Amino acid sequence: MNKLSNYADENIIVGGDFNCALTELDKMGGKPVENKKRVRDMISQLCDLYTLQDVWREMNPKKKQFTWRDKAYKLQCRLDYFLASQNLANFAKECSVVHAPGSDHCAVKLFFRQTLSTKRLGRDFGNLSHRF
């Protein structure tokens, strides 16, 4: 949370393996998501503080799809996701889970649409990739 404080007034995207299922929809098998309450609360606090949204979940409010599973498929979880500022999340065109050869996780890909509104964001939106 402290590392993002310098960017509080900017568009933010945080993505990766959070090693935690956020809701019951994000997990099948194993212990309930409540067992990771502390981590879930920290992620929720981060989202509240910087007005971030789980882009995939926003686009798929009731869907069950997982980014990690054990070899026996007894435990499956969505652990990998993008959290994006509300402004950016509104421009999400596609956010999907895809197979990633050579990894025990699937990849999550995120695409944004460009409209007249995004052009008005100007240089900041155009140079977004340079801030990662």
Which domains, from first to last, does the chain contain? 2-123 (3.60.10.10)
- Given a cut of 60, is residue 39 above it in pLDDT? yes
* Per-residue pLDDT band at 117 (split at 50, 70, 90): low
pLDDT score of 25? 96
Check the CA dihedral 50-46-41-96 and report its sign: positive
Of the chain, the percentage scoring pLDDT greater than 70 comes to 86
Strand residues in the chain grouped as ranges (E): 13-17, 27-28, 52-54, 68-69, 76-77, 80-85, 92-98, 107-112
pLDDT at 124: 53
pTM of the model: 0.82
pLDDT digits (tens, 9 = 90+) for 66-90: 999 998 889 999 999 999 999 899 9
- Per DSSP, the three-state class of 76 is strand
Q: What is the mean pLDDT of residues 6-35?
A: 94
